[in-house]
Amino acid sequence: MKVWLLQGDNVWAATQASGVALLGTAGTGNFGKLTNGALESSNVDLSKELVNMIVAQRNYQSNAQTIKTQDQILNTLVNLR
């Protein structure tokens, strides 16, 4: 059951499954509250993610060095004849 119908270019339309639109005043009844000047921000801890990225980069470099060393050993073995 699709509640919203994509019309293209990030444009959506309500369907029968969406139900009837409710109109009301913010902060009353079951309606949400609006906070002036508030800015929604990401739930990502940037310092933690930067550390994770550095760890991933070091792991990648270590693996690349292992492959390079293996290639050098194989080249040495081939040239021993």
pLDDT in tens, the chain (81 residues): 788 899 998 899 988 888 888 899 988 988 998 888 887 777 888 999 999 999 999 999 999 999 999 999 999 999 987
Taken as a whole, the chain contains a residue count of 81
pLDDT at 51: 98
Give the integer Cα–Cα distance in Å for 17 and 49. Answer: 39
pLDDT at 53: 98
Closest CA to 21 of 5, 3, 33, 38: 3
Q: Which residues pair with 7 in a beta bridge?
A: none
Give the chain's domain count: 1
Torsion sign across C-alpha atoms 11, 16, 17, 19: positive
Q: Per the structure block, which two tokens stand in for 71? A: 């290639």
Q: Please give the model's pTM, rounded to 2 decimal places.
A: 0.47
pLDDT at 42: 77
**Which residues constitute the domain of residue 61?**
4-79
